[in-house]
């Protein structure tokens, strides 16, 4: 009997209407651990190259890990992955909430959905039993109504539900998944994959728990961790203001993407900042299972034209930037309302903001005109236009049908030079961090296998001055300069990427774990050991993170991605026109040279392909599909 995990992976074939339980051995679990490790393994071994991401053959993986379900802050997430319909690349997208641990408690460590149902269905998983059920009555409902209806139908208010909204059903290429209306697998378009499978929702209820190898030790670490969360400054900040607390400092530093990345400083940032948020729309903190940080925001507003319901998930930093500074909108209520609409429709708010910004800039340059929008103007700062477009995209109506493809494909469809304003990396829209202000994050954007990804590596800013001490256990002793693009920065990124990658294989939250937040490397290793009974080491965890990254790289190489895709958006190669970072740019030749250096550090050849030596080192040389 293993500790920490169930030893069972649930496979559901929607084409055949069958379910099957796989029981991998302990070596497999310890090699891949969970999260992106599981996703990479299934994609590489279960998907033929060149497959249409919206075809039945694309497996949709829901992965917890060998530690999810342990009662520790931030140990509660799950990763959803498949081939991305947005980028055609490796996709993985994490969420917190209650679904991950519930899946563990129901007896499974991961769920892999194969095939496509002829008609809408949902899955009902409880304590080792999985049923495929008719969802005809749910199809077309938003995420809230879907949840309500399922709880009624299943007669259990404690059922945990992952669902897609109308956007996923209509295969908007950046449709997302949600659970409990507050937690989102936002990026890479997994909602479209779920929609293409005619899978509306997954309901889970479990009453078991994987045994812990050393429950007393886990308790002791939980006490220590939760106590430290109360005093560790980054966590104190998250508890107080959540991610909205970042907005003002990012704007003050000059890298808040504004008006489609044209600027890095937004004159209206004050109105979107955390103090205003708290004075005007904040209702209460919310949280994920067993987490002491409570970084999530509930918002409420009963008056005015932008009502906010506290059940529907308050805007995070990314939403404030997406629907605020990126669009030149300073009306916080409107931004929060737009965010709420995205949540209910099941749209990734990051890509949604980015495509709307793209549309507005196209409109400004006459590339889109009222003839394209049914007569509607699309102007910077126009909150009504933003909210209207969210609906149009979710419904795939008119211009919304074009924008539902993401900026890359939308620009191709529009033509007229629209690609000048279509900012994406590997086909995915960027989250809202201007790389000119934190070049380590820029490397993450360029080199993340999922395309532009702001959680590929910890932010440069956390490792200035004494902050670098957080990375001493990686052998990195020099403070980071956020603005430099040099060898030292590549080294920081190389190591930071693996360190944060641990969180993605273990499905841990970056907001409680290494290296920025309350967890330390030493205690993390202790925690994983206490949960699993394995004498794991940081070396092993770093290499597991690297292994997951290499699996994703192998996948992308197989799908035809090349070094030309490991780059940044053109705007970051140009001088920042205004704000505190005025005049800053990243030199494209230097950046490309450092990307090649990163390949060399990674044991990849000049074409960015992992060498045989690297595969042997990671124990991947025999892997089918590698």
Annotate each residue in 564-603 with x if it binds a second copy (CB under 8 A) or - if it does not, as one string: ---------------------------------xxxxxxx
The Cα–Cα gap between 474 and 392 comes to 48
The residue among 354 and 505 lying less far from a second copy, judged by its C-beta, is 505
Choice from 145, 617, 623, 625 touching a second copy (CB under 8 A): 617
3-state secondary structure 104-168: HHCCCCEEEEECCCCCCEEEEEECCEEEEEECCCCCCCCHHHHHHHHHHHHCCCCCEEEECCHHH
Site string for a second copy, 487-506 (x = CB under 8 A): x--xx--x------------
Please, what is the minimum distance in Å from the beta carbon of residue 66 to a second copy?
13
Cβ proximity to a second copy: between 222 and 542 the closer is 542
Map tokens 């969360």 to a residue. Answer: 229
Q: Which is nearest to 393 in space by CA: 382, 405, 381, 384?
A: 405
Task: Note whether 50 binds a second copy by CB under 8 A.
Answer: no
Q: How far is the CB of 291 from a second copy (least distance, A)?
A: 24
Q: Is 606 in the site for a second copy (CB under 8 A)?
A: no
Cβ–Cβ < 8 Å for 454, 256: no
Q: Which of 529, 549, 556, 567 binds a second copy (CB under 8 A)?
A: 529
Q: Are 168 and 182 in contact (CB under 8 A)?
A: no
**Cβ neighbour number for residue 128 with a 10 Å cutoff:** 14
27 binds a second copy, rule: CB under 8 A: yes
Rg (alpha carbons) of the chain, rounded to whole number:
22
- Comparing CA positions, the residue from 192, 196, 162, 157 lying closest to residue 179 is 162
Q: Which of 231, 477, 564, 583 binds a second copy (CB under 8 A)?
A: 477
Q: Which of 19, 24, 30, 145 binds a second copy (CB under 8 A)?
A: 30
Residue with tokens 């679990």: 29
Please report how close the Cβ of residue 464 comes to a second copy at its closest, in angstroms: 16
Q: How far apart are CA 62 and CA 605, in angstroms?
A: 32
Residue 31 found at the interface with a second copy (CB under 8 A) = yes
Applying CB under 8 A, does 213 fall inside the site for a second copy? no
Q: Which is nearer to a second copy, 196 or 442 (CB)?
A: 442
Q: Please name the residues in contact with 447: beta carbons below 8 A apart, sequence gap of 6 or more.
A: 456, 493, 497, 566, 595, 598
Whole-number minimum distance, CB 433 to a second copy, in Å?
24
Contact 346, 312 (CB under 8 A): no
Is 464 a residue that touches a second copy (CB under 8 A)?
no
290 is written with which tokens?
A: 């067993």
Kindly state the smallest distance separating residue 477's Cβ from a second copy, in Å: 5
Helix (H, G, I), strand (E, B) or coil at 199: strand
CA distances from 222 to 43, 229, 234, 519, 584 (A): 34, 10, 18, 10, 43
Smallest separation, CB 140 to a second copy (Å): 47
> Does residue 134 interact with a second copy by CB under 8 A?
no
536 is a site residue for a second copy (CB under 8 A): yes
Footprint of a second copy (CB under 8 A) = 27, 30-31, 472-478, 487, 490-491, 494, 520-522, 525, 529, 534-540, 542-544, 547, 597-603, 611-614, 616-619, 621
């Amino acid at each position: 009997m293993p500790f920490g995990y169930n030893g069972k992976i649930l496979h559901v074939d929607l084409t055949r209407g069958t379910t099957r339980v796989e029981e991998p051995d302990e070596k497999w679990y310890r090699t891949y651990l969970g999260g992106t490790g599981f996703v990479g393994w299934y994609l590489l071994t279960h998907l033929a190259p060149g497959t249409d991401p919206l075809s039945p053959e694309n497996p949709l993986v829901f992965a917890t890990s060998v530690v999810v379900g342990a009662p520790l802050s931030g140990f509660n997430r799950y990763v959803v992955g498949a081939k991305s319909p947005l980028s055609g690349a490796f996709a993985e997208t994490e969420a917190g909430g209650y679904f991950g641990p519930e899946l563990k408690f129901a007896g499974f460590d991961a769920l892999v959905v194969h095939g496509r149902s002829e008609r809408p269905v949902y899955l009902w998983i409880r304590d080792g039993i999985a049923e495929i059920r008719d969802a005809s009555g749910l199809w077309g409902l938003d995420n809230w109504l879907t949840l309500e209806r399922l709880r009624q139908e299943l007669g259990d208010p404690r059922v945990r539900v992952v669902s897609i909204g109308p956007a996923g059903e209509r295969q908007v290429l950046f449709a997302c998944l949600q659970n409990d209306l507050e937690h989102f697998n936002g990026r890479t378009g997994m909602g479209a994959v779920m929609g293409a499978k005619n899978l509306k929702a997954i309901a889970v209820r479990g009453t078991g728990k994987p045994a812990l190898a050393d429950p007393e030790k886990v308790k002791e670490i939980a006490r220590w961790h939760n106590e430290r969360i109360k005093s560790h400054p980054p966590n104190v900040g998250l508890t107080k203001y959540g991610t909205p607390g970042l907005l003002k400092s990012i704007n003050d530093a000059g890298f808040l993407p504004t008006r489609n990345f044209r600027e890095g400083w937004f004159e209206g940032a004050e109105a979107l900042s955390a103090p205003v948020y708290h004075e005007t729309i904040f209702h209460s903190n919310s949280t994920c299972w067993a987490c002491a940080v409570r970084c999530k925001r509930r918002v409420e507003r009963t008056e005015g034209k932008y009502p906010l319901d506290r059940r529907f998930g308050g805007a995070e930093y990314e939403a404030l930037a997406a629907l605020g500074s990126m669009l030149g909108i300073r009306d916080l209520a409107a931004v929060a309302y737009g965010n709420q609409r995205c949540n209910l429709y099941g749209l990734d708010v990051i890509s949604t903001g980015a495509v709307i910004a793209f549309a507005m800039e196209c409109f400004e340059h006459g590339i889109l005109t009222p003839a394209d929008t049914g007569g509607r103007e699309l102007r910077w700062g126009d909150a009504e236009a933003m909210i209207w477009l969210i609906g149009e995209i979710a419904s795939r109506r008119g211009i919304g049908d074009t924008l539902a493809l993401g900026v890359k494909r939308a620009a191709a469809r529009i033509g007229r030079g629209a690609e000048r304003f279509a900012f994406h990396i590997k086909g995915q829209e960027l989250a809202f961090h201007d790389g000119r202000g934190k070049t380590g994050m820029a490397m993450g954007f360029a080199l993340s296998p999922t395309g532009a990804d702001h959680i590929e590596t910890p932010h440069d800013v956390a490792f200035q001055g004494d902050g670098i001490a957080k990375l001493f256990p990686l052998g990195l002793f020099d403070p980071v300069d956020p603005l430099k693009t040099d060898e030292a920065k590549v080294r920081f990124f190389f190591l930071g990427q693996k360190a944060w990658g641990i969180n993605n294989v273990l499905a841990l939250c970056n907001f409680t774990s290494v290296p920025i937040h309350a967890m330390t490397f030493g205690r993390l290793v202790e925690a994983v050991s206490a949960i699993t009974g394995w004498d794991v080491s940081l070396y092993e965890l770093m290499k597991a993170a690297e292994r997951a990254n290499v699996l994703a790289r192998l996948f992308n190489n197989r799908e035809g991605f090349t070094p030309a895709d490991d780059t940044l958006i053109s705007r970051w190669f140009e001088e920042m026109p205004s704000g505190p970072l005025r005049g800053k740019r990243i030199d494209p030749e230097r950046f490309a040279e450092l990307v090649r250096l990163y390949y060399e550090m990674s044991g990849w050849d000049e074409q960015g392909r992992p060498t045989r030596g690297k595969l042997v080192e990671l124990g991947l040389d025999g892997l089918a599909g590698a």
